[in-house]
């Protein structure tokens, strides 16, 4: 069955990596009538064709990265608890779940070895998932996170088994493993891991750490040098006109705006900053740093030199809004007085005075 759907609504599930597309059918089909509303699910591996009237360079870059996540992922992560583990690849834009291991672990009982056997099966499943899904030639570090001592016990199992089996990928890259704390074995627990300064200090060579680092630098500069750290489209755009933007920070949420004009103005801003020699960092709204940037309008910049005059832009905007508001109040008051006068005159005429 082949359908042509005009996209009206898009829903993305990051856990299952599925996209649900809804909209009216635009071609005749024996299954769906023309114009009927229909929803389809696009999962990993399903072929489809996407047509747009205009493709911006930002979208083309992101599609290329999304089609080959293994090229972009330089961080692997195993977040685990007793009996549950998620093996993930972390890119600049998204965290991909490559394997989920769920093994029932019975409670410890005196005289029974069922517990230890189940734990060994669980560790073995995680071991094989890492061996199958991680390319150590591209991955710079592997985070092993868990509550308690689960991570420590598993890592000892991995080291012992890799030597016994002579698995060279683990033996040669054991220095890339970083043990850290997590609140659970679910994927969302990675947010706590990336908030830990001790962990981030060990990820200095990764792409994601550079985004976190530039975001932390911007937040520090707001306190120490506010004239050199600007946020909001108006301020950033004005600084770019003077070739003052050294680093542009922008969330991908702005490029997904339903307003075409809004999307195009941010694409133009990114291209202009690059032409002026500035660096551009596009933050995913699915990452903690992207959510933090979204709280300050979604676009910010670190300048090459302080621009205290930009503070006057905000004052002028506020004054303009106040003047417009006061003008509206005066006009509304005037119209109210006119309506009252008209009603009084009508009452006088009705009374014959």
CATH topology of domain 208-308: 60s Ribosomal Protein L30; Chain: A; (3.30.1330)
- Backbone angles phi and psi of 129, in degrees to 5: -65, -40
Residue scoring higher pLDDT (166 or 97): 166
Task: Tell me the sheet residues that pair with 101.
Answer: 85
pLDDT in tens, 141-151: 899 999 999 99
Q: Secondary structure of 81-149 in the HEC alphabet?
A: ECCEEEEEEECCCCEEEEEEEECCCCCCCCCCCHHHHHHHHHHHHHHHHHHHHCCCCCCCEEEEEECCC
Least confident of 130-144, 215-229, 315-329: 315-329
What is the average pLDDT value for the chain, to the nearest integer? 81
Least confident of 81-90, 112-121, 212-221, 332-341: 332-341
Average pLDDT over residues 276-281: 92
pLDDT in tens, 26-72: 888 888 888 888 888 888 778 888 888 777 777 787 777 667 665 66
pTM: 0.53
pLDDT of residue 294: 86
Task: Pick one of 3.30.420.60, 3.40.630.30, 1.10.3720.10, 3.40.1180.10 as the CATH number of 69-200.
Answer: 3.30.420.60
pLDDT of residue 262: 86
pLDDT in tens, 282-327: 887 766 677 788 888 899 999 999 988 887 766 555 454 455 454 5
- Kindly list the domain boundaries of the chain, sorted by start residue: 9-51, 69-200, 208-308
pLDDT-based confidence at 279, cuts 50/70/90?
very high
pLDDT of residue 299: 94
pLDDT of residue 2: 80
The rounded distance, in Å, linking the Cα atoms of 268 and 55 is: 13
pLDDT of residue 315: 56
**Cα atoms found within 13 Å of the Cα of residue 321, Cβ hemisphere only:** 6
């Amino acid at each position: 069955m082949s359908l042509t759907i005009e996209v009206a609504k898009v829903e993305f599930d990051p856990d299952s990596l599925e996209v649900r597309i809804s909209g009216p059918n635009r071609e005749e089909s024996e299954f769906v009538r023309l114009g009927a509303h229909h929803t389809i699910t696009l999962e990993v591996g399903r072929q489809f064709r996407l047509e747009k009237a205009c493709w911006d360079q930002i979208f083309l870059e992101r599609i290329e990265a999304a089609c080959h996540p293994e090229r972009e992922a330089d961080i692997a992560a195993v977040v685990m608890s007793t009996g549950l583990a998620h093996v993930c690849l972390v890119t600049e834009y998204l965290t991909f779940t490559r394997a989920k291991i769920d093994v029932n672990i019975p409670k410890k009982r005196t005289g029974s070895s069922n517990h230890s056997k189940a734990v060994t099966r669980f560790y073995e499943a995680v071991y094989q998932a890492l061996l199958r899904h991680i390319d150590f030639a591209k991955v710079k570090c592997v985070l092993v996170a868990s509550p308690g001592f689960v991570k420590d016990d598993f890592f000892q199992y991995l080291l012992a088994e890799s030597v016994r089996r002579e698995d060279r990928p683990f033996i040669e890259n054991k220095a890339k493993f970083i043990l850290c704390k997590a609140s659970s074995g679910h994927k969302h627990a990675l947010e706590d891991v990336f908030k830990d300064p001790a962990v981030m200090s060990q990820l200095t060579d990764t792409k994601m750490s550079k985004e976190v680092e530039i975001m932390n630098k911007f937040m520090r500069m707001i306190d120490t040098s506010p004239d050199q750290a600007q946020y909001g489209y108006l301020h950033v755009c004005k600084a770019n006109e003077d070739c003052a933007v050294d680093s542009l920070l922008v969330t991908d949420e702005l490029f997904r705006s339903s307003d075409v004009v809004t999307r195009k103005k941010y694409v133009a801003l990114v291209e202009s900053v690059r032409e002026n020699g500035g660096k551009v960092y596009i933050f995913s709204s699915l990452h903690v740093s992207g959510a933090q940037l979204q709280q300050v309008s979604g676009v910010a910049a670190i300048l090459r030199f302080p621009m205290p005059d930009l503070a006057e832009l905000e004052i002028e905007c506020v004054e303009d809004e106040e003047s417009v508001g006061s003008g509206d109040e005066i006009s509304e008051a005037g119209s109210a007085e006119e309506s009252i006068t008209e009603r009084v005159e009508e009452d006088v005429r009705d009374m014959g005075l």
